[in-house]
Amino acid sequence: MERGEPEEGEAGAPGEFRAPPPPDDRLWRHPSEVAVARRPDGRAPGGWAVALVSGLVGSVLTFGLVAATGALDRDAPGGVVRELVSPPVPAGERADPDQVVQIAERVSPAIARIQVGGDRPGSGSGVMFRDDGYLLTNAHVVDKARTIDVVLADGSEHDGELVGADALTDVAVVKIDREAPVPVATLGSAAGLRVGQAAVAIGSPLGLIGGSSVTTGVVSALGRRLPTAQGPPLLDMIQTDAAIAPGSSGGALLDGSGAVIGITTAIALSDSGAEGLGFATPIDIARSVADDIITTGRAVHVWLGIQGRDLDAASAEQAGVSGGAVVVDVVDDGPAQGAGLRPGDVIVAVAEREVRSMSALVIFLRERAPGDRVELSVLRDGGRTSLPVELGTRPMDAAER
């Protein structure tokens, strides 16, 4: 997607993409300065776009379809990592106000503000997940940063070191040096998420001084695929109506118990501005990538080689299963094709673990390493069959999982 920039002092035509204005004395911006997407033919889309939500910088994405990516919840090497996988708030219930207060008080100390210096200065957020100074954020927040300044909830400022970043998942790890342990967030899992359950977002919007910001809503969709203007799409994203403002990118999306279920990444925009939809990278993916970066310096992505979608409720009931992942397409010469997987197959279990969605499938697969063999339980032509598959390493040019 090409970007058009108006001449200096020109407001630009309605629906035209506008580059973010340079930093100045104004904290708040007029709605006309909000960037919107353009179609390849140059016309305003009249629909939605998706923009990454770092402070003064961000790329425009186009809205896309559901696909699959990788995810994993591994034990982090060293440090203290608090983890919690708790029952979600029942679907359709928003978090109780008193409960939100408790969540905010407990989690806000682990949310940091990130100020980036360089050719593209900006701000974002980060989630402390190890008490020895490691935090999770978005790769686009720290992209091409010459300096990284991390401001903790207690107001203390620290020089941040970029440990590594993964453009495929838009996840980055930053390290600060501090003698005393830092507060850390409790990490949960996105594997059991349900549409309608409570969601709480905490971040540092617009680089504002004075602590983090808290918003509430629900998980409004799962498994979103967001094609990017450049590079591979963001896959398996969590959609929420909890407000996510620019600068909150890299913050925490929490469930009703206060466990981190995602790292906030993008917001939906239209001609009129923000549409009240935000997107977060599942914490399983973010944690997996972070562990890889800390251990080896780069992220390693397990590859099955399929495109897929969730099995709809009516088909699941007819098949007598609680859910599944429908194979839409099989990548040529990929692990799935070698195992005999076909379009139309429905994956309902991995290594005897029930699969209810594409999100669950990829999270389970990321618990394995490239070269591992796993047994897939597949519904095909009214029957069930088992297919052993040897997982591969995602090729650099592979568009899907």
pLDDT, tens digit, for every residue of 177-235? Answer: 988 999 999 999 988 888 899 999 999 876 566 678 899 999 998 888 787 666 667 87
Q: Which residues of the chain have pLDDT under 50?
A: 1-46, 55-92, 273-274, 399-401
Q: What is the pLDDT of residues 341-398, one digit of tens each?
A: 999 999 999 988 899 888 788 778 877 888 999 999 999 998 999 999 999 988 765 5
Q: How far is 195 from 207, CA to CA, in rounded Å?
A: 30
Question: Cβ contacts of residue 348 below 8 Å, gap of 6+?
Answer: 321, 323, 324, 325, 354, 355, 377, 378, 379, 384
- 249 given a catalytic annotation: yes
Which domains does the chain carry? Answer: 97-296 (2.40.10.120), 302-393 (2.30.42.10)
Place of tokens 């600068």: 247
DSSP codes, 271-340 = TTEEEEEEEEEEHHHHHHHHHHHHHHSS---EE--EEEEEPPHHHHHHHTSS--EEEEEE-TTSHHHHHT
In three state form, how does the secondary structure of 52-80 look?
A: ECCCCCCCEEECCCCCCCCCCCCCCCCCC
Determine which one of 143, 170, 284, 310 is catalytic.
170
- Told to judge if 140 belongs to the known catalytic residues of this protein, a careful annotator would answer yes
pTM value? 0.68
- 272 has catalytic annotation: no
Cβ neighbours of residue 394 under 8 Å, at least 6 residues apart? 70, 168, 301, 302, 303, 401
Rounded Cα–Cα distance for residues 265 and 248 (Å): 8
**Per the residue annotation, which of 59, 108, 249, 377 is the catalytic one?**
249
Catalytic residue (one of 59, 73, 108, 140): 140
Distance CA 341, CA 350 (A): 13
